[in-house]
Amino acid sequence: MAELDPLIHADARLRVMSALNTLGAKDSVAFPRLRTILSMTAGNLSTHLRKLEDAGYIRQQKLIEGRSPATYVGITALGVSAFEAYKKQLMDLL
């Protein structure tokens, strides 16, 4: 049996991937909204997003809206594939 993806398996990153997977590959969510959904601090969420982004599982888009910075987060096609593989491995394990 293949090892579960340790990048996704960490509790906080699993919650991030689960939330983003509900959006689909073309959509994104504002960072503050994702933070609220997951009940995470900004620093904690940022750390986990960076790890997922470095792996190519998510994308972050930083914009200026009016005079304020805004960050949008979405899942990539690679992230969707990795999450589907993770779910299959987990179900096989169970």
Residue with tokens 């986990």: 48
The answer to whether residue 83 is domain-embedded is yes
The answer to whether residue 60 is domain-embedded is yes
Predicted local confidence at residue 1, as pLDDT: 61
Residue 21 tokens read as 């997977």
Structural domain span for residue 85:
6-93
**Number of domains forming the structure of the chain:** 1
The answer to whether residue 1 is domain-embedded is no
Predicted local confidence at residue 55, as pLDDT: 97
Q: State which residues of the chain have pLDDT below 70.
A: 1
State the CB neighbour count (10 A cutoff) for residue 32: 12
Predicted local confidence at residue 59, as pLDDT: 97
What is the reported pTM?
Answer: 0.90
Rg (CA), the chain: 14
Predicted local confidence at residue 31, as pLDDT: 97
Domain holding 18: CATH number?
1.10.10.10
